[in-house]
A and B are shown apart, each in its own frame.
Chain A
Amino acid sequence: MLDNYRQELWEHVRSCKACFRRLESISQRRQLSASKLLANNSANCSAQQAYRSFVSRVERSKNMEFSEFGRRNPRPVLALVALLVLLPVLVLLTPIRSAAESLLNVMRVEKFTAITIDPSELPFNIPAEKYQQKWNQQMAARFGKYDKADLQKELKEHNIRRVSSVDEASKAYKGPVATIPKQGSPEEIYVSGPESVSFTIDLQKIRAELKEAGIQGVTLPKQLDGKTFTLDVPSAVVMRYGQDDSGFVFVQGESPTLVIPEGVNMDYVRQDILMTPGLPPDLVKQIQSIKDWQHTLVIPVPPGGDSKNVRIGRSEGLLVSDRTGEHNLLLWKHDDRLYAIGGKISSEDAISIARSVVYR
């Protein structure tokens, strides 16, 4: 039957000038691409020799096994987990969060970009609701009902001091502090850091912390085990406006710097992670398209949320909104400092407030 069909098709092509020309054109292009792609086809590499070379490579390396956690579905967490656990004020007090993971490989933040992640597409078990619940509990502990004594202790541990005025903040910050005059005085002002944190990747410990956060099915590259990263976090100022869980925070500070230990090539680690089977292709594509990723802070957009670039003075800022549009996060850079406004605030208000900031 197929032969009859082919015969019929060929008869038609022979008789139809347009189809014949088209076939001719396809044939010419096929020959052209073949001539180019198959040129210089003189490569030779014996399989036996290659296998010996491969075995030597594996034996030399100590990093070829991945430590497993939960299911054998390798997933990237890495620096983001360490940063989420250890990075103070700028991350912890930002009300907008996503339950999705992102690949952060920030050496120093110069700009921002947003990526969209749908947690349901991730190949491991990340119970988003449970994680969000835990996050909400932590936020409530900080801004809602909390035990003052516990909070004070926690703040002290992270070198976060509450101050009573902008002038006091400037003294503590050791520099001029930007303000939002049209919003009046903030309800609370905190100054954090500076802080230098060295953390040695302990895969077992990270595993335990992920488990506590309800994140399962994560595999971390063993080559990172025992490696020490240093995170230098300059001072930051956080001003809270509004009551309880309404209102917003205004954060300012210089960029943290993450020092990658010798022997860890983050380019390779990043590429390796992006090759993980099961990663949504769209996510991989988004992350690969980030140019200058070492200086770009990646912000995950919550499912159903939105993001856009907005002009704040001379800088290009990033606005990220949640699904409802009621919670927004606006990030931008001015001179050498990073700024953020985030909370239960409309996007228009966030932009308007950001544009009204007075830099001293």
Chain B
Amino acid sequence: MAEAKEIQVDEFERIFLSYWEEIYLYLYRMLRDSHEAEDAAQETFLKLYSRPPAANSNYRAWLYKVASREGLNRIRSNNRRTRLISKIKSLWSNEVAPDTTDIVLANAESVEVRDILARMRPQYAQVLLLRHHGLSYDEISKVTGISKNSVGTILVRAEKQFATLLERGEGK
């Protein structure tokens, strides 16, 4: 196995500034909460800082891989979901003013999307998110390790599973 290298501070800063926004946005789309997304993104870069990948690695792919795992682990956390649901319940009390309805609905949709992603096969959720985040099939292949020829097929399956889970949720 190739030795991981020490990462110099100026190089780390360059990587951080280059990729921060896209990693943060990717996690935000997954987690639907700006604070949590920021925290997850910080954790991702912390891992880069403390345990950089082997020399000549593709940093971008590595960051997406770690961010995916970080994000998917978090959305499977029941604690977070419970807190969001509690938050929504409190917003649905009689004190909710009419102009907060949009916020409430947005939060409800966030919970729904997180719930669906948590219930999907991890690989499907990851491919779906990466694709809708704008990564090419080639880039998705580098992040996930799936062969480039299989990415399209898995994407179709992922979208099908997402739609099915969404439909089941709305039918309740």
What is the number of residues of chain A that contact chain B, defined by CB distance less than 8 Å? 36
Q: How does the 8 Å CB contact mask read for A23-54 relative to B, with 1 for contact and 0 for none?
A: 00010011011101111110101011011011
A33: shortest Cβ distance to chain B, in Å?
A: 5
A142 to B53, CA, bound (A): 45
Within 8 A of B (CB), among A57-80: 57-58, 64-66, 71-74
Residues of A within 8 A of B106 (CB): 39-40
A26 to B29, CA, bound (A): 22
B105: shortest Cβ distance to chain A, in Å?
A: 10
Q: How does the 8 Å CB contact mask read for B49-74 relative to A, with 1 for contact and 0 for none?
A: 11101000000000000100110010
Residues of A within 8 A of B162 (CB): 29, 32-33, 36
Q: Is the CB of A47 within 8 A of B163?
A: no
Within 8 A of A (CB), among B103-148: 106, 109-110, 112-113, 128-129, 132
A37 to B117, CA, bound (A): 10
Any B CB within 8 A of the CB of A303: no
Identify which of B34, B50, B112, B159 contacts A65 (C-beta below 8 A). Answer: B50
Within 8 A of B (CB), among A160-176: none
Identify which of A34, A43, A53, A66 contacts B50 (C-beta below 8 A). Answer: A66
Q: Is the CB of A37 within 8 A of B46?
A: no
Within 8 A of A (CB), among B77-100: none
Any B CB within 8 A of the CB of A278: yes
Within 8 A of B (CB), among A210-231: none
Any A CB within 8 A of the CB of B7: no
A51 to B15, CA, bound (A): 11
A26: shortest Cβ distance to chain B, in Å?
A: 6
A53: shortest Cβ distance to chain B, in Å?
A: 7
Residue of A whose beta carbon sits closest to that of B38: A45
Q: Is the CB of A71 within 8 A of B159?
A: no
Q: Is the CB of A278 within 8 A of B17?
A: no
Interface size class of B (residues with CB under 8 A): 35 or more
Residue of A whose beta carbon sits closest to that of B159: A29
Residues of B within 8 A of A58 (CB): 46, 49
A87: shortest Cβ distance to chain B, in Å?
A: 30
Q: Is the CB of B73 within 8 A of A74?
A: no
A26-B156, A37-B113, A37-B128 given; A43·B34 CB < 8 A: yes
Any B CB within 8 A of the CB of A123: yes
B166: shortest Cβ distance to chain A, in Å?
A: 7
Q: Is the CB of B163 within 8 A of A32?
A: yes
Identify which of A39, A47, A276 contacts B20 (C-beta below 8 A). Answer: A47
Q: Is the CB of A47 within 8 A of B21?
A: yes
Q: Identify the A interface with B (CB < 8 A).
A: 26, 29-30, 32-34, 36-41, 43, 45, 47-48, 50-51, 53-54, 57-58, 64-66, 71-74, 123, 271, 275-278, 288
Q: Identify the B interface with A (CB < 8 A).
A: 1, 3-4, 13, 16-17, 20-21, 24-25, 28-29, 32, 34, 37-38, 41-42, 45-47, 49-51, 53, 66, 69-70, 73, 106, 109-110, 112-113, 128-129, 132, 156, 158-160, 162-163, 166
- A-B CB contact pairs (8 Å), 21 listed: A29-B156, A29-B160, A29-B163, A36-B162, A41-B25, A43-B28, A45-B37, A50-B20, A50-B42, A53-B42, A54-B16, A57-B42, A57-B46, A58-B46, A64-B46, A64-B49, A65-B50, A72-B3, A74-B51, A123-B1, A276-B51
